[in-house]
């Protein structure tokens, strides 16, 4: 297979890092990116300030490649926005990789050459193929390995508490957004100013939106915020605060808590959305599966997490956890039903392998539906995965990562029952599932 490239899907932070590691290993990486620029997904939330410092957002192999080109590393302790991350790091990195990154090209299928997923005969001897769509047509690229770093940004979870769109959700699409708006943009501001807005979800994106809307409510009379969440509002819903080992992440939770305490936000907790229907005044009313109704709202911002898009991987043999849709050996390490303090047991190629040799899901996508992914995790994943592809088993097995904890045992994940938060045992070995 040596003559074929390692195809990397996605020129986000983790895909580009994979290419940098592959180059150092003497492999031939080819990054296929659907967008027109590096970090296409990151740019979509470019107005959001990260809770990671620059030092935690730069992959070591990428830094080495950039250093050769005279790149000046940003101040390690500063916190960039998504736009800064893309402009000051991802774009130069893609430029350093040159023709090894192809933009405007979408991977629409991956297969074993000439074999659908059912066929065993001769499978191991065949390379992989990546089917790619561009503005000028379709092509098939033969690959020795495929590293899928395509993220989950483009497939947000719907509003419905059962994981399917709520009744009326599709029809109300013009009033439902799936990302925290940039309220410094006059268009976004005028969309929400003076309106009653439901923010649905309880992760970091929801907390970011709450803080933004609470500020808007202070400045624009008539703006009201209703926070709709599945969990009860307990101590941990705002994250670990000062105990968070990422101080900016902890501070975000504290700011959200203050916004709620200051009365800018009314909460509707323990609410699993079943329907989103317009009332007689054409405002949206959310109704839970238990029959509770929200007050009528003008806008809904649904921030209920993401899920991996797996349809174009249907012809390869993946081994995914039935709950999280993450690689089956990684899933127990990140399952928010068991432990979610942000600590991830270091992992690499062994945990990310599938029955289909040479295929790896990495980065945000490797977490499936689990929250709290950090770029640092992805950088370590691709260091190990590229070592494995290059045949360096010792380096692939070596673990070189320590991740900061959220400071919350069981609080940052998907817990619904406050009791579960007490004895989830997230910071120790994974405890028994409740």
Q: Which of residues 147, 260, 374, 382 is near ligand FAD by CB under 6 A?
A: 374
CB of 331 to ligand FAD, least distance (A): 17
Between helices 13-24 and 375-389, what is the axis angle to 10°?
30
**Total binding residues for ligand FAD by CB under 6 A?**
33
Binding of residue 12 to ligand FAD (CB under 6 A): yes
The answer to whether 96 and 14 have CB atoms below 8 angstroms apart is no
Q: Pick from 7, 27, 32, 316: which binds ligand FAD (CB under 6 A)?
A: 32
CB of 42 to ligand FAD, least distance (A): 5
Specify whether the CB–CB gap between 407 and 40 falls below 8 A: no
Give the shortest CB-306-to-ligand FAD separation in angstroms: 8
CB 59 within 8 A of CB 379: yes
Residue window 73-112: x/- pattern of binding to ligand FAD, with contact defined by CB under 6 A: ---------------------------------xx-----
Residue 205 binds ligand FAD, judged by CB under 6 A: yes
> Is 364 among the residues that bind ligand FAD (CB under 6 A)?
yes
Contact between 52 and ligand FAD by CB under 6 A: the answer reads yes
Q: Which two tokens stand for residue 411?
A: 């609080």
Q: Does 240 bind ligand FAD (CB under 6 A)?
A: no
Out of 41, 223, 273, 304, the only residue in the binding site for ligand FAD (CB under 6 A) is: 41
Residue matched to tokens 């009791």: 419
412 binds ligand FAD per the rule CB under 6 A: no
User: Contact between 54 and ligand FAD (CB under 6 A)?
Assistant: no
Tokens of 373: 């992914």
For the chain, the C-alpha Rg in angstroms (whole number) is 22
Q: Are 316 and 110 in contact (CB under 8 A)?
A: yes
Q: Name the CA dihedral angle for 274, 277, 283, 284, rounded to a multiple of 10 degrees.
A: 20
Q: Which residues contact 272 (CB under 8 A, 6 or more apart)?
A: 161, 162, 230, 288, 289, 290
Q: Which is nearer to ligand FAD, 188 or 285 (CB)?
A: 188
Q: How far is the CB of 309 from ligand FAD (least distance, A)?
A: 7
**Under 8 Å between Cβ of 420 and 232:** no
The answer to whether residues 55 and 76 touch, using CB atoms and an 8 Å cutoff, is yes
Nearer to ligand FAD, 91 or 275 (CB): 91
Determine if 213 is a binding residue for ligand FAD (CB under 6 A): no
Name 100's Cβ contacts closer than 8 Å, sequence gap at least 6. Answer: 19, 23, 29, 30, 31
CB of 10 to ligand FAD, least distance (A): 2
Applying CB under 6 A, the residues found at the interface with ligand FAD are: 9-15, 32-35, 40-42, 45, 48, 50-52, 106-107, 149-151, 153-154, 205, 363-364, 373-375, 378
């Amino acid at each position: 297979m040596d003559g074929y490239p390692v195809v990397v899907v996605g020129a986000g932070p983790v895909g580009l890092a994979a290419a940098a590691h592959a180059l150092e290993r003497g492999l031939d990486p080819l990054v296929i990116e659907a967008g027109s620029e590096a970090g296409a997904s990151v740019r979509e939330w470019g107005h959001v300030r990260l809770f990671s410092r620059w030092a935690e957002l730069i992959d070591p192999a990428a830094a080495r490649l950039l250093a050769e080109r005279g790149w000046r590393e940003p101040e390690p302790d500063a916190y960039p926005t998504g736009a800064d991350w893309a402009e000051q790091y991802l774009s130069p990195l893609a430029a350093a990789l040159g023709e090894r990154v192809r933009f405007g090209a979408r991977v629409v299928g991956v297969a074993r050459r000439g074999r659908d997923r059912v066929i065993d005969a001769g499978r191991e001897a065949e390379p992989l193929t990546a089917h790619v769509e561009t503005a000028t047509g379709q092509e098939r690229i033969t690959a020795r390995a495929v590293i899928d770093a395509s993220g989950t940004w483009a497939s947000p979870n719907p509003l419905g508490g059962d994981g399917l769109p709520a009744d009326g959700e599709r029809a109300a699409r013009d009033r439902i957004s799936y990302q925290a708006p940039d309220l410094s943009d006059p268009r976004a501001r005028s969309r929400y100013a003076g309106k009653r807005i439901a923010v649905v979800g309880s992760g970091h994106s929801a907390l970011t939106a709450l803080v933004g809307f609470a500020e808007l409510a202070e400045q624009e009379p008539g703006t009201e915020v209703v926070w709709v969440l599945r969990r009860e509002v307990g101590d941990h819903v705002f994250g670990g605060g000062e105990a968070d080992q990422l101080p900016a992440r902890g501070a975000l939770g504290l700011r959200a808590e203050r916004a709620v305490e200051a009365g800018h936000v009314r909460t509707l907790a323990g609410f699993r959305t079943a329907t989103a229907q317009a009332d007689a005044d054409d405002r949206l009313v959310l109704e839970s599966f238990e029959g509770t109704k929200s007050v009528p709202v003008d806008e809904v911002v649904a921030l209920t997490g993401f899920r991996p898009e797996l349809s174009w991987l249907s012809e390869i043999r993946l081994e995914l956890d039935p709950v999280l849709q993450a690689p089956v050996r990684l899933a127990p390490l990140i399952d928010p039903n068991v432990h979610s303090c942000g600590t991830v047991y270091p992992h690499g190629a062994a945990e990310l392998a599938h029955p289909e040799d040479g295929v790896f899901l990495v980065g945000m996508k490797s977490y499936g539906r689990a929250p709290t992914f950090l770029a640092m995790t992805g950088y370590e994943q691709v260091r190990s995965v590229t070592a494995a592809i290059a045949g360096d088993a010792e380096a692939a097995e070596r673990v070189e990562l320590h991740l900061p904890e959220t400071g919350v045992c069981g609080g940052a994940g998907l817990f619904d029952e406050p009791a579960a938060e007490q004895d989830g045992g997230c910071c120790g070995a994974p405890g028994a599932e409740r």
